[in-house]
């Protein structure tokens, strides 16, 4: 059972078997002779379905903006194919004999599953059957550490109390590299890494494959890699406190007071801001810029992956009402560019911005933040992930490319 739960659904035999069976069912539906008039009607329905799918994806992404991101071309093609195939199935149900109608009925769930799997593979959110079902992936850090050798890094859950903030956070995750697990470990740099929204701390490792990336780095550097702590900045997958202290929760205080206090008390990490970094993806990227730029006394490095230009919870008016008690000035002041300007000039801040090359919305936003950080005196780096959009593939590329820069800025290179 465990083997099946850990089976990949973003590639490999299970995914391609699903694609193959779904495609075969559609081939059965089209492999029949029809009168010319009826065949033209069917063709017209399929073309109309495809047009409807492309139009709907455009409306959802670029007009209604239901997800706050621009859908990738791959996802739009999946939507197009889904509606074209749905039109074919509907046509077959009306015009076919009984046995083909059975095939058409069976094709419906196959079409739904294969489309969902294709979109998921494009975004990279759920990588295994286990994560798709929402089943627990990691043991507690104590159990994980006791049950493995020091040859590789380990990931485990911890509870970080909201002593000062009172924020209702879920369990956090911690990655310890091999160098942190020896008898007398060095004081290693530490990174606070934040997931996107909706999401959970586990996404950073299950979808972002961060442990694999860090283990690869450690293997090439004598077991040395940064310690990574992934706290919960949301409270629940569908919540967004926007990393400010508000009626939605004291998320900012939790991340900049409670989490650092816990790290210092429980992990052997670098003492000063030079050895501390804050990072995040999407909403978490926005948070990393907000908090990192506002607290140079805590963090010397920021890694913002596909962050927004401003906190967002619905429309601007809805955001101001829910997260800023109706105060438009407070909302404006919470935007990363505004925070950078308010705390400039910086003396020892490194800002790494990463974004997908196909992320048409966030790419220009990222350049805006890079420019603002440079103007504020930060050392800036822009990483553009080729062929990816607003997805976890961008996160994986970003971390791989950012690690050498982060290692230099946090002093990690001097430890390996």
- Residues with Cβ within 8 Å of 151's Cβ and at least 6 positions away in sequence, in order, are 178
Query: Cβ(137)–Cβ(207) under 8 Å?
Result: no
The pLDDT tens digits of the residues spanning 240-268 come to 999 999 999 999 999 999 999 999 999 99
The pLDDT tens digits of the residues spanning 106-148 come to 999 999 999 999 999 999 999 999 999 999 899 999 999 997 7
| pTM (predicted TM-score) | 0.94
Residue 65 in tokens? 């903006």
Q: Which of 199, 240, 252 is nearest to 322 (CA)?
A: 240
CA dist list (Å): 224 to 189, 293, 303, 369: 10, 27, 19, 31
Domain 136-414 has CATH 3.40.50.1820: yes
The pLDDT tens digits of the residues spanning 181-237 come to 998 999 999 999 999 999 999 999 999 999 999 999 999 999 999 999 999 999 999
When mean pLDDT is compared across 14-18, 132-136, 297-301, 381-385, the lowest value belongs to 132-136
Whether the pLDDT of residue 153 is over 90: the answer is yes
**Rounded Cα distance, 212 and 163, in Å:** 32
The pLDDT tens digits of the residues spanning 171-181 come to 999 999 999 99
In the predicted model, what is the mean pLDDT of the chain?
Answer: 96
The pLDDT tens digits of the residues spanning 367-403 come to 999 999 999 999 999 999 999 999 999 999 999 999 9
Q: Where are the domains of the chain?
A: 2-130, 136-414
> According to the model, what pLDDT value does residue 149 have?
79
**What's 124's DSSP letter?**
T
| DSSP secondary structure of 236-288 | STT---TTSEETTEEHHHIIIIIHHHHHHHHS-B-SSGGGEEEEEETHHHHHH
Q: Which of 256, 306, 252 is nearest to 276 (CA)?
A: 256
> According to the model, what pLDDT value does residue 273 have?
98
Region 314-341 average pLDDT: 96
């Amino acid at each position: 059972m465990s083997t099946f739960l850990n089976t990949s659904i973003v590639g490999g035999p299970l995914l391609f078997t699903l694609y193959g069976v779904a495609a075969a069912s559609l081939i059965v539906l089209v492999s029949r002779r029809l009168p010319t008039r009826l065949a033209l009607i069917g063709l017209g329905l399929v073309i109309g379905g495809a047009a409807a799918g492309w139009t709907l994806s455009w409306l959802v992404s670029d007009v209604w903006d239901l997800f706050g991101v621009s859908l990738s071309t791959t996802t739009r093609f999946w939507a197009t194919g889904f509606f074209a195939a749905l039109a074919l199935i509907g046509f077959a149900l009306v015009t076919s004999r009984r046995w083909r109608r059975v095939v058409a009925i069976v094709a419906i769930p196959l079409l739904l599953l294969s489309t969902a799997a294709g979109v998921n593979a494009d975004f990279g959110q759920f990588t295994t059957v286990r994560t798709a079902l929402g089943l627990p992936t990691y043991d507690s850090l104590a159990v994980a550490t006791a049950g493995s050798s020091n040859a590789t890094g380990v990931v485990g859950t911890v509870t970080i109390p909201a002593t000062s903030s009172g924020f209702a956070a879920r369990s956090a995750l911690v990655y310890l590299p091999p160098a942190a697990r020896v008898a007398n470990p060095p004081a290693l740099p530490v990174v606070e890494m934040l997931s996107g929204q909706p999401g959970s701390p586990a996404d950073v490792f299950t979808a972002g494959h961060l442990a694999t990336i860090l283990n690869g780095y450690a293997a090439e550097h004598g077991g040395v890699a940064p310690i990574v702590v992934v706290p919960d900045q949301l409270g629940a997958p569908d919540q967004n406190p926007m990393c400010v202290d508000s009626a939605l929760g004291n998320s900012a205080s939790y991340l900049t007071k409670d989490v650092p206090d816990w790290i210092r008390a429980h992990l052997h990490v670098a003492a000063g801001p030079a050895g501390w970094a804050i990072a995040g993806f999407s909403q978490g990227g926005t948070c990393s810029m907000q908090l990192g730029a506002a607290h140079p006394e805590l963090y010397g490095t920021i890694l913002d992956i596909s962050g927004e230009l401003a906190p967002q919870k619905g429309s601007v008016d809805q955001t101001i009402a829910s997260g800023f008690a109706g105060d438009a000035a407070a909302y404006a002041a919470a935007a990363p560019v505004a925070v950078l300007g308010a705390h400039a000039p910086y003396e020892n801040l490194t800002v790494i911005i990463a974004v997908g090359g196909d992320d048409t919305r966030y790419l220009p936003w990222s350049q805006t933040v890079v420019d603002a950080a440079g103007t504020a005196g930060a050392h800036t780096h822009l990483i553009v992930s080729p062929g990816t959009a607003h997805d976890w593939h961008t996160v994986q590329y970003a971390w791989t490319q950012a690690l050498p820069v982060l290692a230099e800025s946090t002093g990690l290179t001097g430890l390996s």
